[in-house]
A and B are shown apart, each in its own frame.
Chain A
């Protein structure tokens, strides 16, 4: 999986790893928008450039095996990667893809990932990631979940 430096177009390989306890010291609200310590009892992953420690984005998930589904609770990029002046592109896409891979690995053709964004930004996720909409919930299943993984998961 890779991200792209917005200013130069240079490509950097990334990895998505489980957040460790010591990471929470650096996960400030000013940089990562939420009190991520509140998520420490959930499964939380960080996205870093391979070989580097700086955390560029985070995602917290809840596995719901009875529904073959993984729900994305919270997902953010770091403040330097927001909006038009972002340093790197594709952080969010890579984090969603990581969750998608877990879902497909666990649940195969029944795999589903879901999230519940505010209606004002839901259309962005529908358009960019081809998500389905059911009430307030956006979801991704086969075949779109496979297409997403193929799009982002390459060396």
Chain B
């Protein structure tokens, strides 16, 4: 091993070199590690599992907002569903907590109806407290997701609306730039 690799190996401030030397070593490590991990997971408190699920949701929501690609998929309702199911074993309990009917909640989650503004506001307030313990969380993210999805849907469907709309737009004052 080179001198510089030696320096790194003995000084953690430089970093770490931890490639597996062989496939056999990798497999042996994997088996031993998984056994230990499964044993630890069995004793993981419910609160920590919920904490992990909410952090996963938060990271996925942030990633979606940064995604430069437009698609026609339903993200807002998926994230709402994930949020509710992470915390509650029964969705009716969540509906009760935010003072909506279970039927309304079901219709929103299944995209049968649009969420009302009041619903999004209640979602914001409900999630504020839960996400507070997970570091930085802006409750506006629910609104951002909702409108970002609208934007993505519109932009991904340009072939459908653009030809018709373009015909209705004139430029009586052309700007010569």
The number of chain A residues with a CB under 8 A from chain B is 52
Counting chain B CB atoms within 10 Å of each CB, the highest count among A73, A105, A120 belongs to A105
With A101-B59, A135-B29 as known contacts, state yes or no: A71 contacts B8, CB within 8 Å: no
Contacts of A132 in B (CB 8 A): 36, 40
Could you tell me if A109 and B135 are in contact, using CB atoms closer than 8 angstroms? no
Q: Quick one: given A33-B8, A137-B33, A150-B135, are A116 and B18 in contact (CB under 8 Å)? A: yes
Which residues in chain A, 121-155, are within 8 Å of chain B measured between CB atoms?
Answer: 121, 124-125, 128, 132, 134-137, 139, 141-143, 146, 149-150, 153-155
A138 to chain B, nearest CB (A): 9
Given A92-B15, A139-B33, CB of A121 within 8 Å of CB of B9: yes
The verdict on B48 contacting chain A, using a C-beta distance below 8 Å, is yes
Mark interface residues in B4-45 (1 if CB within 8 Å of A CB, else 0): 110111111111111110000000011011101100110010
Whether the pair B16, A146 counts as a contact (CB closer than 8 A) is no
Structural contact, A112 and B10, CB atoms closer than 8 A: no
Q: Is A13 an interface residue (CB 8 A)?
A: no
The interface stretch among B49-57, B95-103, B112-120, B152-160 is: B49-57
Is B63's CB within 8 Å of the partner chain A?
yes
Interface residues on B, range: 35 or more
Selected contact of B18 from candidates A72, A104, A134, A149, CB within 8 Å: A72
Chain A 66-81, CB-CB to B under 8 Å as 1, else 0, gives: 0101011111110000
* Interface secondary structure of B, over-half rule: helix
- A51 close to B (CB within 8 Å): no
A116 to B33, CA, bound (A): 12
Structural contact, A105 and B63, CB atoms closer than 8 A: yes
Residues B41 and A110 in contact, CB atoms below 8 Å apart: yes
Report A-chain residues with C-beta under 8 Å of the C-beta of B44.
109, 142-143
Contact of B12 among A72, A116, A121, A153 (CB under 8 A): A121
Bound: A146/B56 CA distance, A: 10
Asked whether, in the complex, the Cβ of A76 is within 8 Å of the Cβ of B48, the reply is no
